[in-house]
Structure 1
Amino acid sequence: MGLSSLTKLKCLNLEGTSDLETIPEELICGFSRLQVLRMGSTGFQAGIAVNGNISYSRLECLERLKYLNALTITICNDSAVEGFLSSHRIQGCTEGLCIYQRENGSLFSLKTLCLPPMKRLNYLTLMGASMEEVKTQWDEEGRKKQTQYDFQTSVIASERNFYDLRRVDIHNCPNLKDITWIIWAPNLTSLIVSCCFSMKEIISEGGVAAMTGDLILFEKLQILVLICLLKLTSIHRFALSFPSSAAIRVQGCPELRKLPLSSNSGGGRIIIRGAQRWWNELEWEDESARDTFLPYFQRTS
């Protein structure tokens, strides 16, 4: 019995199937009762789902699945990005999105990424993305608003329209200088950023002032990992709350001399992992904060 005979199939999970080279488009289209389709990357190590190549025509096929309400997807080319951004139907059911520049693939020619508000989005991964600009459009109370930011200030802005976003992984995005847009993800629990060699700030001082007033940042963030961000000088200019038992790992960030911590952050129980020399050279607004977190510092090699 082949897959095509499963006409009543409601859930198809292909995540983690990095050896799967292709899947016939007509096969997916034939699952007319499909409600859950998982074709996305499960993280940085997960490989490429469905050969990592979601074509525009395949996106049109997904739009015809009228019962589809949960989707994870990996996008690796311009046409698929454009198709995704033009489909409100697909955006509305997307729970996981990976925009991935394949190692042997052609470079993205798309210079502007217009990422819409996706209230169901649970995880977002950007790997090797070369976009230079983000434009965001959203509607509130019948009024259309439009905000444009340079992708080097990296704002995916909306008024908390990333409420369900829990995990963000960003790797090898050479044009990013900050990722201020994460302030619009109030329930973010994991943030991993690596090999973004132009990144100077995680949350831009100017960007926050322009966009928000009283947001409580990183209130639920449990994991913060920063690796090989050679120009990074700041996570945030003010001390942040962080939950208790949060963990911060810093590796290969020689210019990062301050952490956004006070002695009250995380109830004084935040685990900090990094090189001994880096820890010794950290600057603190209040020496009591250093004394508070010293017992929770874990030296890495």
Structure 2
Amino acid sequence: MPIQRRAFIAAMGSGAAAGLAGCLGDDSDSDGDGPEISGETLTLTTTTSTEDTGLLNELNAPFEDRYGVTVDAVAQGTGAALKTARDGDSDVVMVHARSLEDEFIEDSYGVNRRDLMFNDFVIVGSPDDPASIAGSEDVNEALNAIAESESTFISRGDNSGTHTKEQALWDDAGRDSDTLGEWYTDIGGGMGDALNRANELGAYTLSDRGTYLSMQGNTDLEIHVQGPVEGGPESLMNPYGIVAVNPAVHDHVNYDLAMAYIGYITGPDGQDIIKNYTVDGEQLFFPEALSEAPNFQQYVPEGWDGGDQ
């Protein structure tokens, strides 16, 4: 059955997820079986890190239970997740590469972007640390030391948010990732694959902290360069955003349900789940959607100044 758009708009205007459920409840069908949203499916494309860490299941199950819907989550690299959405095969996208998100919005495929959460990137490697980068507070120095020592480095090579960040870091260090030596290994895989390969080869890799911590008990890898969560450089910050697919471009997308999901995941309940989600006592992600002084820049591409209207 179709979702009742006016009920969603009214509920979103209230600014409360509980209000959303109440308004939907008022639009029950004539058989008294509950709100017409029940039975709908939301297709979410997202990063491998949200799935590998287990966070995705923790977030989606309460949403599905509350509204009687199904979230079909497809975990891909950020680039692939955004391409799926561009093709009209996704309703909402949760990713972590702001430059790629901005392109998605500027090309009119995405609307109503929200900051969601953050963690950070870390450079991990074997305890032997052949490039002697442990404890470095300078990412450029660490990457140059890896390159100069020709220590094996595993790159995801999959146009994911992590891969996009890694390429930017090599550029900042004055090196082109496309012209590095044989010690630089491009696997074209997910974060879990990269960590496992680095563990097998005694290599370095760039990882988001959440996935590293969730796999820490299964590898011998150690953090050699910390991100800002533990006092490291801000260049290793890893923010996540969530964006609805534009129904004016793909009129078949489940836009109402996408906005309900965005409201839930950026609201008090979703943000509390993110805050309280831990593995072995370690917090993997930090909520960022709720603030007494919301950041306007989250809604538009970075650097946007209004332009010519």
Classify the TM-score, shorter chain: under 0.3
TM-score (norm: length of structure 1): 0.23
TM-score (norm: length of structure 2): 0.22
